[in-house]
Structure 1
């Protein structure tokens, strides 16, 4: 079966990541890149054509899947253009700036009959997968409460040369991290959020605002969760940037998305899985790239079968609504009812 052609929009850290992934996936072939000041170097490194515009990339006959890695404020326009040209889309997180844009993207792809998938590599990483299997197998009984934490000492994108993320108008701090934290939380819980309350603050003198967040969610199956994100803890920090403590009726699971998975049963803790270490800032790290390759494999299967991708646009919308609720509640001080239509 012929490989599907991939075009990558954006040439930053994630653009380079997805260009590499497209060369690793057996079902795809990287055809072209476009967008961003680093596009010429990216195209040269991978031996593909650099298009002079995003529109030109989308219009190529040999591009079947468009991977959108541009800043979130560009996502909706680029996804709509791809759908109009009959292209399947894999869009980086956060899916968009708000739920209304997500709905527009979903509707455009559904009208066009094309796939819309959202990046959520942590669902494909070994440690979270091990935890999800334990939950699904009933290892802790029914899930009751979850604590999610992402505790870091810096909000500085200079290491990845993505300084645009320092602009609060282009991306909210919580949206960047929460697109992962909230998506994996909802995946573990197995139910949509129905109520949210949150506060945020920045303790440091430098922007952007909202570098520390405390949020709570209630889900349709009555699971309750707390979410603690901050980029303002002192060294040596408090573990990795994505951790979960899941309590159930019969046990508990402690999950480090970058490390160990521990199970508490019968009054004792045991380590049931240990993630092989990798460099999260290395675009060529095989250990880091494997999760992305698995997701692209699933997108290829969705294109070939016509079935929705596991992390579809509608999945992305549910996560975006959780992010929007935090922003709204932090501004108003009023809990947000997520049972209302988006």
Structure 2
């Protein structure tokens, strides 16, 4: 944070990206945040419509939005291959940045982003929204309080039905680097967050969709810096009806207890031979209220408010660019492991292919 920055009365926001997450960002800023206002939208064919619906300005290009002096910060939710140049340009224009995951598609681009925000003295926060869902938050609290002792093992699931056709088509483009980087970086971040350890090694295998040749499933085993270990199973090829409690789930083993974490359901603590329900998230009403259901948006409210508060109070956000880089590096290490048939040790340095 630039020391010359004064506490802001209100942070003026520009949104870059007008798809599913662009609308999520617009709804969150306009309806749920304190100390923030939406000023303009740019990026994507739906940007004019989104700006009109929220009664704010539309800019024809991202550079035009970044040149506006009445914007203090930007929320970037665009195809992954766009993240690096958009974030770097935003920093060069003195804008604080809330950047969707993954941070970038290469380690080199992550480092370029980190250099740019450091030179500009602006805040960079990565959208790891799973940290703000109640079951994950409470699991982290229990771990920090010692409720299960030292974490020794973590099992992560992100299992979905519908195949790659259920995802936006741009996510299957080679330049956007696949579903592990697009989605399972949430799980990698959760491994780091729950364990308090860094990924030190990765051994992985990847299965590809027969029709498109694109990655559709990954299994990976992670060695952690403190001696613990973790496993990730990520797939978009699970037949209906799918497995229960696996859309975003963790099983955490400690020396004295265990946690069963369903980010979209219940958090259960196993200790002294019995289970206890600690927290619960209500089901998201996808058929009725849809993507703007307040239950879904609660995590975004907390996440985005943390970003706004960090700017207004002149401090670093709780989720940093280093967190974003760490998850990207672990995901890229998994890809390399699968391609070369070897265990990959971290750090990989600047080699991301």
TM-score (norm 1): 0.95
Aligned with 2:125: secondary structure? strand
Alignment correspondent of 2:259: 253
CA–CA distance in structure 2, aligned partners of residues 94 and 22 of structure 1: 21
Residue 148 (structure 2) aligns with: 140
From 296, 306, 310, the equivalent of 1:298 is: 306
Q: Which runs of 4+ in 1 moved over 6 A?
A: none
- Would you say the 8 A contact 2:126–2:321 is kept in 1? yes
Q: What is the deviation of 1:340? A: 4.8
User: Among 53, 73, 84, which residue is 1:45 paired with?
Assistant: 53
CA contact (8 A) 2:268 2:277 kept: yes
- TM-score of the pair, normalised by structure 2: 0.92
Give the whole-Å Cα distance in 2 for the aligned partners of 1:82 and 1:218.
35
Q: Which residue of 1 aligns with 2:296?
A: 288
Structural mapping, 1:188-337, within 5 Å? 188-202=194-208, 204-239=209-244, 240-279=246-285, 282-337=290-345
Q: Per the alignment, do residues 85 and 185 of structure 1 end up closer, same or farther by CA in structure 2, a change over 3 Å counting?
A: same
Question: After superposition, where does 1:62-141 map in structure 2 within 5 Å?
Answer: 62-141=70-149
Hey, what's the Cα distance between the residues in 2 that align with 1:279 and 1:189?
Answer: 32
- Asked if structure 2 preserves the Cα contact closer than 8 Å seen for 1:144 and 1:249, the reply is yes
Question: Per-residue deviation at 1:256?
Answer: 0.4
Write out per-residue CA displacement over residues 152-204 of structure 1, whole angstroms, 9 at most, x where no aligned residue.
1123465x7x32123233231111121211111110011111111101013x5
**Cα displacement (A) at 1:298:** 1.2
Q: Distance in 2 between matches of 1:307 and 1:253?
A: 32
Q: Please report the RMSD computed on the Cα atoms of aligned residues, expressed in angstroms.
A: 1.6
2:11 corresponds to: 4
Provide the C-alpha distance between the structure 2 equivalents of 1:205 and 1:316, rounded to a whole number of angstroms: 31
Alpha-carbon contact 1:157-1:166 (below 8 Å) kept = no
1:168·1:208 contact (CA, 8 Å) conserved in 2?
no
Structure 2 residue matching 1:104: 3-state secondary structure: helix
For 1:155 and 1:123, locate their aligned partners in 2 and report how far apart those are by CA, in whole Å: 26
Counterpart of 1:171 in structure 2 is 177
Q: Which of 11, 21, 31 is the aligned partner of 1:14? A: 21
In structure 1, C-alpha distance between the alignment counterparts of 2:330 and 2:199, rounded to whole Å: 7
| Unaligned 5+ runs, structure 2 | 1-7
Name the CA distance, whole Å, in 2 between partners of 1:46 and 1:208: 39
CA deviations on 1:259-285 (whole Å, 9 max, x unpaired) are 111111111222222212114693311
Q: CA deviation at 1:83?
A: 0.8
Is the Cα–Cα contact under 8 Å of residues 167 and 208 in structure 1 kept in the other structure?
A: no
